[in-house]
Amino acid sequence: YEVFVEHMAEVGPIAEEEGMVYVMGNKAGGAGTDSAVLVADVANDNLKVWVLKDGNVREFVEKDMFVKLPSEAVVHIAEWTPGS
């Protein structure tokens, strides 16, 4: 939890795409190396979180079910892992 909060020190606006509410952020001064994404699938009452810390990506889900990612989040997460 602390790592997620730390990695949301600098956040973009809360946005919505096709029912997915999301926010993306970075650790203070850590753009590109320490980031996080939170996606809320409102219709299915589900959360999904990605955290990039020291080059390692971790993914957390509230419920074991598919969460469609907003296109902006797909691009942002893809930038964490070049070549994927």
Q: For 7-61, what is each residue's pLDDT tens digit?
A: 899 999 999 999 999 999 988 876 667 889 999 999 999 999 999 888 888 999 9
Instruction: Give the pairing type, strands 35-41 and 46-53.
Output: antiparallel
Q: To the nearest 10°, the Cα dihedral for 49, 5, 54, 14? A: 50
Instruction: Show the tokens assigned to 30.
Output: 């850590």
| Beta strands 20-26; 15-17: pairing state | antiparallel
- pLDDT tens column, 63-73: 999 888 899 88
* pTM, entire model: 0.85
